Amino acid sequence: MKTQSSAMTATDLARAFDEARAAQISWNQTSFKNRRKLLLDYHDSVNDNQAMLMDTLQRETGKSRNHAFEEITGSLAGIRYVANNLRRALSSHSAKPGIPFALKIKVDYSPVGVVGVVTPWNYPLALTMLDVIPALAAGNAVVQKADDKTIQTIIAARDLAEANGLPRGLWQVVHGDNEIIGNGLIDNCDYFAFTGSTQTGRKVAQRAAGRLIGYSMELGGKNPAIVLPGANLEKTSERLLASFIGNSGQLCVATERAYVPAAEMKAYVDLLGKKIESLKLGSSGVFDHDLGALISSDQISRVGGFLERARKGGSEVIGGVISGQTIQPSLVVGTDHKSEIATQEVFGPVLALIPYEDLDHAIEMANDTEYGLNASVFGDVGLATEVASKLQAGTVNVNEGYRASMASLDAPMGGMKQSGVGRRNGIHGIRRFTEPRTIAINRGLVELPSRGSQYIKMAPLMGVISKVMKRV
């Protein structure tokens, strides 16, 4: 494999696919038992090497130790879930036949072949485990395009898997130009899993559709939170804070806009402002910072640009001090619901606070977006759950920002509207990397008709069967 500094070519990509397809042939014959053992051994190896992985994550991303640790724990949970649910997801099972007793129906799952995966820079390890691991476990090979900024993290994860028995060549890691490597990935794989921006996702969908291959995509978000009247001020403020500073806001499910009762607005602004002032920024090898740096100077410029334009538009910005590649979490107050800061994905530790008088209007504003990835509601559980059911998002958290749904790997995760296609996690998150196959068996108890004279005899029986089936 070429080094990070050397650009990979179309020839390199073709070689990666050739090696992956060759390795997949025998891997597909590996039993569920052996795959599970390999995954659990890999789980323990990741756990044992978490310090090295966190060091690599921090070096490449600038995230704090605690956010690197969160990524490790999420990765371990992803491996465990797949290992312990693989047989349940992919074992063959019976289905109801069209004619009881006369037919037997069996459904099994065949791997698609080689899965193409694109992993972004914000959560390189965790998102690898949520896409690459279930794809491998389902009997496929994987060719994964890593972001150049975080390739060493992914190579370290791949190398640990091979050290624990994963056949060499089965998990290929590539990187480089999107036109050559990114498009080439779509043009050669049998299924494509993509995490990234909505703008790029539209291009991916068009290219994949041209080949008639399956794909799943987790895309952008502009995630709302609704604070209910009378919600506990201290608890809600702390949870709101956690919901937008996680990974320094570089998280697709992070909260970016919060709708707060107008009568309680000042209290939330004051308390959140104090909490922001108390945060410790930096990236060290110990758990002594609350959040780390942004990934690059370009990302600093992007987030800082949003804040500067909000100030020029008349909004108050609390926080937002930039020092090197760190930026202080920011509250934007006095902004309009239709403003740039309230409608465009910032992807940084920025929260727009917007007052509301009427709860129905808050729900309407929360849903007034092209995105639908994540949402949250804070307050009385009964009312909050009722409100949650009215929000147009793939995941909705009650009295949490995003961590409750992210930690629940048996439940599907994905976006509505322009926030994605398909779902990762859960049983479906494993099955998406397979082709379901139906095997229908005629037991020979009833000869199915093929001629008119036979249909005359069969018609009365089918009438009886229809009445019986109505009650089954």
Write out the E strands in 239-380.
255-261, 316-319, 322-323, 326-327, 330-333, 350-356, 374-378
Q: Which secondary structure element, helix H or strand E, spans residue 192, and what is its range?
A: strand 191-195
Closest CA to 415 of 388, 386, 377, 375: 375
Backbone angles phi, psi at 331, to 5 degrees: -105, 135
The CA R_g of the chain, rounded to the nearest whole Å, is 25
* 341 contacts 310 by C-beta, under 8 angstroms: yes
Q: Which residues contact 291 (CB under 8 A, 6 or more apart)?
A: 63, 64, 67, 245, 246, 247, 248, 279, 281, 329, 349
| Gap between the Cα atoms of 370 and 352, Å rounded | 17
Active-site positions read 218, 252
Q: Could you tell me the two tokens for 366?
A: 């929360």
| Gap between the Cα atoms of 116 and 188, Å rounded | 8
Q: Which secondary structure element, helix H or strand E, spans residue 406, and what is its range?
A: helix 403-406
